[in-house]
């Protein structure tokens, strides 16, 4: 674990000198020092870091929940749901069509629909932190899309499992899907009405006790969420929503940052460990086509989300590039596909697709000003073109974002 931290730090420092974001460098460190690459093997079995990497994912989403109290979500909930639904319709629909076009099989097409349709919550969160956009108005639509994706993710996994296991119909998925949806409603109700009680329970002047309390709450709810068939990350996110609105919220935000950064780096390193570069050459063509399709669909989804919220081309580009990366959910589907005995080309395809977008996403997000100028209305002033100019992200913040790591 110490070697993983240091390797990630050294590569990130070197890449930072030429302006590269940290996420792809953390992943590259895992690839270079993993079991699938010749040379020094730091971690022979990626599962050795599995629990610690999951802790990184939980802390990333918990931290994101802290930044967006429940009141912020209530203010634009309908528009966020519309933007999230539009994003899923475009990307999942395109992924399903792409899967059928490949001709690998119906089950494979259903897997590819999820792979191409769902963003990486962990990478999106890290991109928002690294680019300094957590306070931007267009970050709320991004958050809404992530939440809608996570709800869809829980139900999709529950419905897909019996299909991959050879069930005759989706009826077998109904009990699992109902359990997941019911727990999601419980979490939402707790986030909506349980903030005052939670604040009293967690309040303490002792920073040590506060760290132990919020860390225990985030990890416990994440684990319970997974047991109910809901993504562990969304459970941690909901805990962050609740605690962010308490009187201890400001202190928790400050205390969680070093934990989030450290274990978040380990999450991306472990992600790199799972990628075998030797499997990629045989699926290069389909991978590049899928990447191109995702780029187009994300631009369209960014434009739709920006239009729903009254934003112009610059926020639309920020939305499109921030949500571009694919990650942990795609890898879960790759594991499920391998266990179900689906087409053997599917796991290396998913690995190559995820690797390219995990690198391209943060790079594009840090340079969103360039695609913004190519969008309709992009020749106007930054952030312009919408009916509500005051709601658009301030030019100074956006201009400074690409230089931050």
Kindly report, residue by residue over 310-364, the tens digit of the pLDDT: 888 888 888 888 898 887 778 777 767 777 778 888 888 888 898 888 888 888 8
Say what the pLDDT of residue 296 is.
92
The three-state (H, E, C) secondary structure of 267-297, written as one string = HHHHHHHCCCHHHCHHHHHHHHHHHHHHHHH
Residues 6 or more apart whose CB falls under 8 angstroms from that of 323 comprise 87, 119, 124, 142, 145, 146, 298, 301, 302
**What percent of the chain has pLDDT above 70?**
85
The count of other CB atoms within 10 Å of the CB of residue 163 is 18
Query: What tokens does 163 get?
Result: 């299909």
- C-alpha 13/C-alpha 345 separation (Å) is 35
- C-alpha 393/C-alpha 46 separation (Å) is 40
pLDDT greater at residue 163 or residue 10: 10
Using CB atoms within 10 Å of the CB of residue 382, give its burial: 0 to 12 exposed, 13 to 18 middle, 19+ buried: buried
Say what the pLDDT of residue 88 is.
93
- C-alpha 243/C-alpha 239 separation (Å) is 6
State yes or no: pLDDT of 234 exceeds 50.
Answer: yes
Distances in Å between the alpha carbon of 72 and those of 75, 144, 179?
5, 11, 28
- C-alpha 150/C-alpha 230 separation (Å) is 8
- Whole-number average pLDDT of the chain: 80
Q: 19: pLDDT confidence band, cut at 50, 70 and 90?
A: low
pLDDT greater at residue 220 or residue 23: 220
Say what the pLDDT of residue 53 is.
87
If you compute the radius of gyration of the chain from its CA atoms, what whole number of angstroms results?
20
- C-alpha 242/C-alpha 199 separation (Å) is 8
Query: How many secondary structure helices (H) and strands (E) does the chain include?
Result: 19, 0
Closest Cα to residue 392, out of 292, 335, 342, 318?
A: 318
For residue 404, which phi and psi values (nearest 5 degrees)? -90, 150
Q: Helix, strand, or coil here: 204?
A: coil
Q: Do residues 331 and 274 lie in contact, with contact meaning Cβ atoms separated by under 8 Å?
A: yes
- C-alpha 304/C-alpha 292 separation (Å) is 19
Q: What is the rounded average pLDDT of the residues 282-287?
A: 89
- C-alpha 63/C-alpha 140 separation (Å) is 15
Q: Do residues 117 and 293 lie in contact, with contact meaning Cβ atoms separated by under 8 Å?
A: no
Kindly report, residue by residue over 273-282, the tens digit of the pLDDT: 877 888 778 8
- C-alpha 333/C-alpha 45 separation (Å) is 20
Q: What is the rounded average pLDDT of the residues 360-387?
A: 66
Q: 404: pLDDT confidence band, cut at 50, 70 and 90?
A: very low
State yes or no: pLDDT of 180 exceeds 80.
Answer: no
Query: What tokens does 319 get?
Result: 């939305």
CA 296, 82, 130, 376 torsion-angle sign: positive
pLDDT greater at residue 269 or residue 390: 269
State yes or no: pLDDT of 169 exceeds 70.
Answer: no
Say what the pLDDT of residue 403 is.
37
Closest Cα to residue 35, out of 46, 47, 25, 49?
A: 46
Say what the pLDDT of residue 383 is.
41
Q: 69: pLDDT confidence band, cut at 50, 70 and 90?
A: low
Say which residue the tokens 């669909």 belong to.
297
């Amino acid at each position: 674990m110490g070697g993983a931290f240091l390797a990630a730090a050294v590569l990130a420092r070197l890449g930072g000198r030429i302006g590269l974001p940290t996420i792809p460098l953390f992943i590259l460190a895992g690839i270079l020092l993993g079991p699938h690459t010749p040379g020094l093997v730091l971690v022979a079995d990626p599962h050795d870091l599995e629990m610690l990497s999951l802790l990184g994912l939980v802390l990333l989403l918990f931290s994101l929940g802290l930044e967006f109290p429940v009141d912020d979500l209530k203010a634009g909930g309908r528009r966020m749901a519309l933007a999230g639904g539009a994003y899923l319709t475009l990307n999942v629909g395109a992924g399903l069509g792409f899967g059928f076009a490949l001709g690998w099989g119906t089950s494979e097409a259903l897997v590819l629909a999820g792979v191409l349709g769902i963003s990486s919550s962990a990478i999106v969160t890290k991109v928002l932190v690294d680019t300094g956009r957590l306070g931007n108005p267009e970050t709320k639509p991004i958050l809404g899309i992530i939440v809608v994706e996570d709800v869809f993710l829980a139900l999709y996994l529950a419905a897909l499992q019996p299909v991959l296991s050879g069930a005759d119909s989706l009826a077998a998925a109904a009990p699992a899907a109902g359990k997941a949806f019911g727990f999601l409603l419980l979490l939402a109700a707790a986030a909506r009405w349980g903030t005052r009680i939670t604040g009293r329970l967690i309040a303490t002047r002792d920073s040590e006790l506060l760290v132990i309390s919020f860390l225990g709450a985030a990890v416990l709810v994440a684990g319970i969420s997974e047991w109910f068939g809901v993504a562990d990350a969304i459970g941690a996110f909901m805990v962050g929503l609740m605690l962010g609105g308490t009187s201890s919220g400001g202190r928790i935000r400050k205390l969680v940052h070093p934990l989030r950064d450290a274990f978040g780096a380990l999450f991306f390193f472990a992600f790199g460990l799972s990628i075998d570069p030797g499997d990629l050459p045989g699926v290069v063509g389909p991978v590049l086509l899928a990447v191109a399709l995702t780029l187009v669909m994300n631009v369209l989804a960014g434009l739709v989300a920006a239009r729903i919220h009254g934003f112009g081309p610059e926020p639309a580009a920020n939305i499109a590039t921030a949500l571009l990366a694919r990650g942990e959910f795609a890898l879960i589907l790759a594991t499920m596909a391998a266990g179900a005995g689906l087409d053997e080309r599917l796991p290396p395809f998913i690995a190559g697709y995820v690797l390219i977008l995990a690198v391209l996403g943060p790079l594009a997000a840090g340079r969103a000003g360039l695609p913004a100028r190519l969008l309709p209305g992009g020749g106007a002033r930054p952030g312009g073109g919408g009916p509500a100019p005051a709601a658009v992200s301030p030019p100074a913040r956006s201009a400074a974002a690409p230089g931050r790591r």
